[in-house]
Structure formats: C-alpha cells, structure tokens
Chain A
Amino acid sequence: DAGVIQSPRHEVTEMGQEVTLRCKPISGHNSLFWYRQTMMRGLELLIYFNNNVPIDDSGMPEDRFSAKMPNASFSTLKIQPSEPRDSAVYFCASSLQTGLGYTFGSGTRLTVV
C-alpha cells in the first residue's frame, strides 16, 4: 500500500482565495483524521470521520473551514476564504479502527500570503 496520500505537498495562495486539500486514506481503514500543525499551537485535531461520517468537528477553527468525505477513499479539507493565519502544515491520518495506531500522510504545507 502506498500509505496515506495527500495533495498538494505545498500550496501558496493569496489571502481570500479558496484552498482545497486532498487526502486518500489507506484502503480498508475506516477512520480518517485531519490535523493542523504549527509552531505556536502544535498538533491540533480539526475533524475526524468514521465510516465516512463526521464524528467530531469541534476542532474546526471557523466556518471558513469545511471537510467532506464523499467515499471511503477520499476526503477534502477546504478553506474559504483563506487567511494568513491559516498557514500551517495540514496532515491527514487514517486508521483501521478509531483509536488504534494512525498512519499519517506527508502533509500539505500551506502558505497564505
């Protein structure tokens, strides 16, 4: 298996633009997690899905953030409109069952200028 695949690896965008981050979890994993990592705040859980259903989105910072999981093999995290303070590395992770070991993707480094 190729692991958790995230795209793009790097994204530079201007303030106010829409940004879409993509994630393909490991086949067969039924839980998917979106994290954000910054120097100031560390690793933050934004939202997680179980069997494609959002379970906990309490970490989503604002209404500008939204996430979807239309099927078991694909998820998106969208920021609209983006702001400079959204600059961070965004990680997607998946697991076979909620709470067992996670497999993380390589992350998307987002820079909003």
Chain B
Amino acid sequence: AQSVAQPEDQVNVAEGNPLTVKCTYSVSGNPYLFWYVQYPNRGLQFLLKYITGDNLVKGSYGFEAEFNKSQTSFHLKKPSALVSDSALYFCAVRDTNAGKSTFGDGTTLTVKP
C-alpha cells in the first residue's frame, strides 16, 4: 500500500521569506514522488518529481524539494516566497510497483506582501 500525508492544511509566509510545505509518504518499495500546484479555477500543474538520483530536485518557478529516505519525507521549499506563489499544493507518491499515484489532501499556501 502507498500513502502520503501533508500535515499542514495551511501555510502562511511573508513575501521574501523562505517557505516549506511538508510531505511524508509510505510505500512498500521505492517511491516516485511528485509535487503539483493548483491555482484558483485551474487544473493541477506538475512542479517537480523525484525518481532516482540526487536527493535535491529542482522544479518550476524556483521550487525545489529534498528527498529524505530515512525520514520518508519530500518537503517542498523555496528560498524566497512571492505573493504569486499563493496556491494549493499537492504532494503525490507512487510505489514503483503500483499503477497509479496517491495524492495528499493538499496544503494551501498564502504569501502575504
């Protein structure tokens, strides 16, 4: 079985400050990990993925995520938040033996000026 948890429903940060959106996962095999962003009235957009290799993955819009196998985490980070980063963020995981991804419940990020 595979599962993913986003422990925070909401994250609030000030513009220019670093942001972190947390994600932990559980799989029986090796994980494929993903982050997606959803802006209001839009579909989800792919941000970045970890398949194998370097634990630090860089994605779109200056976002990055670090795969930590011992902590089973894949937190999303950005060094300096923008107001335009305000959106709903989803973490997703797929076990290499599974046929589909499992999505978290989402975290609403609000960046205030």
Contact = CB atoms under 8 A, between A and B. Distances in A.
A105 B32 contact: no
Interface stretch (B13-21, B44-52, B62-70): B44-52
B99 interface: yes
Contacts of A100: 32, 49, 51
A91 B43 contact: yes
Interface residues of A, number: 21
Interface class of chain A by DSSP: strand
A102 B44 contact: yes
Interface stretch (A48-56, A65-73, A79-87): A48-56
A106 B99 CA distance: 23
Contacts of B101: 99, 102
A99 B98 contact: yes
